[in-house]
Amino acid sequence: MVPYMLLLPQLAIVTIFFLWPAAEAIQSSFYLEDPFGFGSTFVGLDNFTDMLTSTDYGRVARFTAVFTFFVTFLSLGFALLLAVKADKVLRGASTYKTLLMWVYAVAPPVAGLIGVLLFDQHVGPMVDLFAMFGWKMQIGVNYFDTSFAMIVTAVWKQIPVNFIFFLSGLQGISKSVQEAASIDCRSGFRRFWTVTFPLLAPTGFFLLIINITYAFFDTFGIVDVIVKNEPGNNPVTLVYKVYLDGFRGNDLGGSSAQSVILMALVFILTIIQFRLIERRVHYT
Amino acid sequence: MATITLDTVRKVYAGDVEAVKGVSIDIADSEFIVLVGPSGCGKSTLLRMIAGLEDITTGEIKIGDRLVNKVDPADRDIAMVFQNYALYPHMSVYNNLAYGLKNRGMAKEEIDRRVKEAARILEIGDYLERRPRALSGGQRQRVAMGRAIVREPAAFLFDEPLSNLDAKLRVQMRVEIKRLQQSLGTTSVYVTHDQLEAMTLADRLVVLNGGNIEQIGAPIEVYDKPASTFVASFIGSPAMNLLNVKADGDGLSLENGAGLSGSNAKGKDSYIVGIRPEHLQVVDGPSSGDGVNLEVSVDVLEPVGAESFVYASFPDGGPEIVVRVSSHARHEPGEKMHLHADAKDVHFFDSSTGRRID
């Protein structure tokens, strides 16, 4: 009995904050809710078919895919580059690393806010910078410009996490293996792709999943601050659309159907992640 | 195959730590040189400087006739075997061997021929498709050796390659390394802290201490005529007995006054006298023969099979004395023992500098 008692708090939290709402969402995804809460009608899979056939949903899904791709690819790429460089720094290494990790401590909405300030129409330094190259950015008005600002802010926010993992991954690679490689291969570039990078692959796979999850779900705050609650024609992600349709559009059924789809997606990602971790190569 | 020349090579690390203090060695073609010394003596640093993994602060290193101070490790035409093998964990054994050749743009058929040949010599042909983690320590060691020999380099550099192996395998691999080096005739520099490994492998030994060369010579020469008390205590196991003695007119006496007889032939006030454990003979009574005569009491008898070692001390303290006795000799703790060493077997060292006096 005692073991179950010890598990109880955790089980309670999982049940109350995850299983219950999830069950509610699944249930309400089959109903059409009255906007004023007077009742609900069972509509079967109508919510899903409506959603999947709507052009708006397709547009948001496409943006989410593009957004996720760029955020994941760029934040991993930059973090790897910085980690490789930081790994080589000998003098003042800890200061350098601390500065790079700093952004990690910034909460997503705050990061979004900083992003908004950087890309502000009137005072944003980034806007000024791009204006010098003849690009007049219009955040919140122009679809492309807004997407660009969103991606840059999301990448900037995520680089530190990736950096920390990549750096520790790099430091986990045996010095003598790298030295052996430097005797076997003259070109540092080739050495990186044939020895260092494959040895970082386990870290890379893990981060890939983490980053996809991040781009999908944790960027809500950034999106929210940048579109300033005025989605209009602006790019939003699927998670943001769940919120918009449910709480701004009062379409709880449709919103639930969307979140069920997202849940399935997370479920698939989690399975992939577990598979990878299981099969994750342990080099000795 | 090539000579390796080190000319007053120094290594100074940040913070003015001088790891290697002006070392010069001329290594002949096909020679097997062993750098030996305690940890921190600079032997690994020296090897890594030859490999190009450490910068040379001052001095010159030449491989063949080529000055390599500024040459990239990959272009020095050397191959290195690391203590922890340093195999590429994500590559098969075959690719571990082939990697260095591929990067040099060698033709596939030639790579294949060399890898198969090395695998045959080292008997690792059955594991060519395996990953290093699926191999035992001894097999990994062979793969590391294989990676060095496929390159057919001018020189092999070994950085304590056997210290991760168990005792039995170490002896086996030691013999194999020696055999391999003799048949390939490749100039080799081998770093170890194990004096037995050093003695058995080397054509010439380089004994290092605190970044300086203490002595260079053939193993038996170093053993027979150690150049300093450091070499005397480092080479040979158990170590040479070293005693502080004072000249007492024509004779010698231990510093703490214990019985020691012998003649002062070198004309100094004090010495350090060295006697190898095998040169001390157990005699029946107080001996007055030429050489050194000691009276000690037995502390511990340590049988090692073919022989035994007696650890003994002087009645009123002073240094411990080790004596080699036959494996059948019986000595009880506390027993009095008279020892004699012939004059020819007694080494004299300067008591202040520790250098040998002949």
In Å, how far is A225's CA from the nearest CA of chain B?
45
Nearest to A186 among B78, B99, B103 (CB): B103
Parts of chain A with a pLDDT under 50: 283-284
User: Cβ contacts of residue A138 below 8 Å, gap of 6+?
Assistant: A121, A145
Task: Flag if B79 and A183 touch (Cβ within 8 Å).
Answer: yes
Task: Flag if A184 and B100 touch (Cβ within 8 Å).
Answer: yes
Residues forming beta bridges with residue B36, ordered by sequence position: B192, B207
H-type helices in chain A, by residue range?
2-14, 20-28, 46-53, 55-88, 93-101, 108-118, 125-132, 143-171, 175-184, 188-191, 197-213, 220-227, 238-243, 252-279
B147: nearest CA in chain A? A184
Tally of CB atoms within 10 A around B142: 23
Task: Flag if B89 and A179 touch (Cβ within 8 Å).
Answer: no
Nearest to B89 among A187, A194, A199 (CB): A199
A199 vs B contacts (CB less than 8 Å): 89-90
Which pLDDT belongs to residue B255? 65
The count of C-alpha atoms lying within 13 angstroms of the C-alpha of A255, restricted to the half-sphere facing its C-beta, is 17
Task: Determine how β-strand B251-254 pairs with β-strand B307-313.
Answer: unpaired
Q: B1-20: per-residue pLDDT in tens?
A: 689 999 999 999 888 889 99
Number of H-type helices and E-type strands within chain B: 8, 21
A190 vs B contacts (CB less than 8 Å): 103
Confirm whether A74 is domain-assigned: yes
CA angle B228, B231, B237 (to 5 degrees): 140
Amino acid found at B134: A
Tally of CB atoms within 10 A around A23: 11
Residue B182 corresponds to which tokens in the numbers above?
């003799």
Which pLDDT belongs to residue A284? 39
CA angle B334, B338, B342 (to 5 degrees): 145
* Cα–Cα dist A88/B244, whole Å: 51
Which pLDDT belongs to residue A231? 66
Residues forming beta bridges with residue B298, ordered by sequence position: B312
Domain containing A50 equals: 41-280
Which pLDDT belongs to residue B265? 63
Q: Count up the domains in chain A and report the number.
A: 1
User: Cβ contacts of residue A268 below 8 Å, gap of 6+?
Assistant: none
Q: Is B77 exposed, middle or buried (0-12, 13-18, 19+ CB in 10 A)?
A: middle
The residues on A that touch B, with CB distances below 8 Å, are 174, 176-177, 179-187, 190, 194-195, 198-199, 201, 281-284
* Cα–Cα dist B141/B147, whole Å: 10
CATH code of the domain containing A181 = 1.10.3720.10
B89: nearest CA in chain A? A283
Taking Cα atoms as reference points, which of B24, B50, B25 lies closest to residue B153? B50
* Cα–Cα dist A154/B331, whole Å: 81
Work out whether the CA dihedral B16, B20, B23, B26 comes out positive or negative.
negative
Is residue B316 a contact partner of residue B257, using CB atoms and an 8 Å limit?
yes
Confirm whether A262 is domain-assigned: yes
Task: Flag if A182 and B74 touch (Cβ within 8 Å).
Answer: yes
Task: Flag if B87 and A199 touch (Cβ within 8 Å).
Answer: no
B82: nearest CA in chain A? A176
B72 part of contact set with chain A, CB < 8 Å: yes
B81: nearest CA in chain A? A180
User: Cβ contacts of residue A110 below 8 Å, gap of 6+?
Assistant: none
Confirm whether A135 is domain-assigned: yes
Which pLDDT belongs to residue A50? 82
Nearest to A183 among B51, B90, B132 (CB): B51
Which pLDDT belongs to residue B256? 57
Which pLDDT belongs to residue B263? 64
DSSP three-state, residue A268: helix
Taking Cα atoms as reference points, which of B117, B148, B121, B122 lies closest to residue B135? B122
Q: What percent of chain B has pLDDT over 70?
A: 95
Confirm whether A6 is domain-assigned: no
Confirm whether A23 is domain-assigned: no
Task: Flag if B83 and A190 touch (Cβ within 8 Å).
Answer: no
Q: Is A85 exposed, middle or buried (0-12, 13-18, 19+ CB in 10 A)?
A: exposed
Which pLDDT belongs to residue B260? 62
Confirm whether A90 is domain-assigned: yes
Is residue A140 a contact partner of residue A227, using CB atoms and an 8 Å limit?
yes
Which pLDDT belongs to residue B275? 92
Q: B244-292: per-residue pLDDT in tens?
A: 888 776 677 776 555 566 666 667 788 888 999 999 999 887 776 777 8
- Sequential DSSP letters for B123-169: T-GGGTTS-GGGS-HHHHHHHHHHHHHTT--SEEEEESTTTTS-HHH
Q: Rounded to the nearest 10 degrees, what angle do helices A197-213 and A55-88 cross at?
A: 140
Residue B66 corresponds to which tokens in the numbers above?
């080529």
In Å, how far is B145's CA from the nearest CA of chain A?
12
Confirm whether A75 is domain-assigned: yes
Q: B39-51: per-residue pLDDT in tens?
A: 889 999 999 999 9
Residues forming beta bridges with residue B253, ordered by sequence position: B246
Is residue B313 a contact partner of residue B333, using CB atoms and an 8 Å limit?
no
- Sequential DSSP letters for B39-106: TTSSHHHHHHHHHTSS--SEEEEEETTEE-TTS-GGGS-EEEE-TT----TTS-HHHHHHHHHHTTT-
Task: Flag if A180 and B103 touch (Cβ within 8 Å).
Answer: no
Task: Flag if A180 and B88 touch (Cβ within 8 Å).
Answer: yes
Chain center to CA of B30: 19
Confirm whether A31 is domain-assigned: no
> Above 70 in pLDDT, residue B133?
yes
pLDDT, averaged across chain B: 89
Q: Where does the pLDDT of residue B75 fall: very low under 50, low under 70, confident under 90, or very high at 90 and above? A: very high
